Amino acid sequence: MYSIFKSNTKGNYNMAISIKVPRKKPRAKINRKTGFTDPDWSSAETWSGDKFHKERSAFARLYYQNVKTADLRGYVYEYMKQNEYSASDIKAAKAVSHIPVQVGIYAKLLTTGMPDLQQNHADMWRGLKGTSSELKPVSEFVSGGIADVIAEGLLIVGNEELIEEVSAVAVSAAPSIQDIMRKAATIMCEPIDDGIEDFVVSRDIKLVAQFDPHTILIVADAKANHARIIKSFYSDVYEELLEAASIPKPAAFKKLSEEDQDACEQLAEAYSHFNAKQLAAIIAMHKKIIDACDIVIVEQKATKAPRKVKQKSADQLVSKLKFKSNDSSYGIASVAPSGLIGAVAAVVFNCKNRKLGLYVAIDADGFKVKGTTLLNFNEEVSTQKTLRKPGDVLPEFKKITKPKALKTFKSLTTTDTKLNGRFNDETIILAVFK
């Protein structure tokens, strides 16, 4: 039987016989923000190239999965302070709403003492097949990302003098409408972030089908301005994920510049914890978010009160017209049906039979509506075509001009069939042209 007693400050236990015991190393402190212990790089220069690569990649994944975006931004600012960036540069960086995730992660790793360029790692990299470039210091990647952020920030604030003025005013000023909108948008994003986090932790691709950001935004009563802000939160990550999924094959990779090769390598390492299906799944989740925001923006436009006096009568004329307000599976939404009155062309899509229709008016007076039927259209040139891949074609009609709409529709190779002017509950009004 062993008894445990508390030692005195000299490391000697108070027992009948004084026994000296070696001091144990204090336990590593857990970082409250991340939930895990920060890496210890004290002997990293002596590690093998393989060990250093695995340790760096493992901690990069931990920060990606566990650290909030706001905290990653804070790591960048800390890195800038440690590397003696000017106060004006730091303020410019803080004016930018989004900093690339990987820049934040590697800034944190460098501030914890990670070697900028570990020699054994560089030697190992040089000996790998398909690597034609020398491994560059991580600080070059971080500094390049920070330079882009500073440039964007200076455009926002104008110049260094204006930065100081804005900073001084902001201390005492009450929150602006933009600040209030941004805070509200951030709160609305919490269920969306939870859904993404659930996937990152479990990597269960079945969660994609359950993920419904449009419903989340509707329940939160998100307006168009909220949706625009929320879209900006995820757009950069979405673009980064698309780039990670389209990294060139070895043959094409060799033809890239050293800078582009380095960027591809950083991306590949950042998302190496996902296999191809998981990467495609998280891309699909971010696309759902972007589409949901677009739907909210278009829906609000459709429900806005008409600006012109004539549009009031138009609203009455289309009051019985059947249409589908939105379809989340295709990421599309109807424009206001009142816009059909007097329009000379319109593009519609039937979600059930996948037919894309183009209506052209008989004359300059444009379309009329009676009940659920569109009138005054040219029956000879107004046709519809079945879309084989709606997901590839429909996004082009979210924002499109009349000439481009006509050209795009004409380029479709499927067989034409005539339109009858009747709308139903599956009809999305994609665009109208006056």
Average pLDDT over residues 108-136: 79
66: pLDDT strictly greater than 70: yes
> Do 115 and 241 have their domain in common?
yes
> Do 104 and 152 have their domain in common?
yes
| Residue 39 to residue 31: CA distance in whole angstroms | 11
- State the pLDDT at residue 32: 46
> Do 335 and 369 have their domain in common?
yes
Contact 357, 323 (CB under 8 A): no
Which of 314 and 429 is assigned the larger pLDDT? 429
> Do 219 and 286 have their domain in common?
yes
**How many domains does the structure of the chain reveal?**
2
- State the pLDDT at residue 133: 62
- State the pLDDT at residue 163: 44
Least reliable range by pLDDT among 126-135, 148-157, 159-168:
159-168
- State the pLDDT at residue 304: 63
- Look up residue 134 and give its two tokens: 């020398």
Residue finishing a domain among 269, 300, 331: 300
**Is 374 part of any domain?**
yes
> Do 213 and 115 have their domain in common?
yes
> Do 138 and 266 have their domain in common?
yes
Residue finishing a domain among 273, 300, 327: 300
Paired with 370 in beta bridges are 373
Q: Which domain holds residue 326?
A: 307-433
> Do 270 and 367 have their domain in common?
no
> Do 64 and 168 have their domain in common?
yes
| Residue 188 to residue 186: CA distance in whole angstroms | 5
Average pLDDT over residues 236-257: 79
Taking only the tens place, the pLDDT of each residue in 9-62 is 444 444 443 333 344 444 444 454 555 677 888 898 999 988 888 888 888 888
Taking only the tens place, the pLDDT of each residue in 187-213 is 888 788 878 888 877 888 888 888 888
> Do 120 and 250 have their domain in common?
yes
**Is 115 part of any domain?**
yes
- State the pLDDT at residue 161: 52
**Is 335 part of any domain?**
yes
343: pLDDT strictly greater than 80: yes
- State the pLDDT at residue 7: 41
Taking the CA of residue 89 as centre, how many other CA atoms within 13 Å lie in the half-sphere pointing to its CB? 15
- State the pLDDT at residue 25: 43
Average pLDDT over residues 94-123: 87
* Residue in 182, 183, 164, 149 with CA at minimum distance from that of residue 76: 149
> Do 289 and 314 have their domain in common?
no
pTM of structure: 0.38
> Do 161 and 118 have their domain in common?
yes
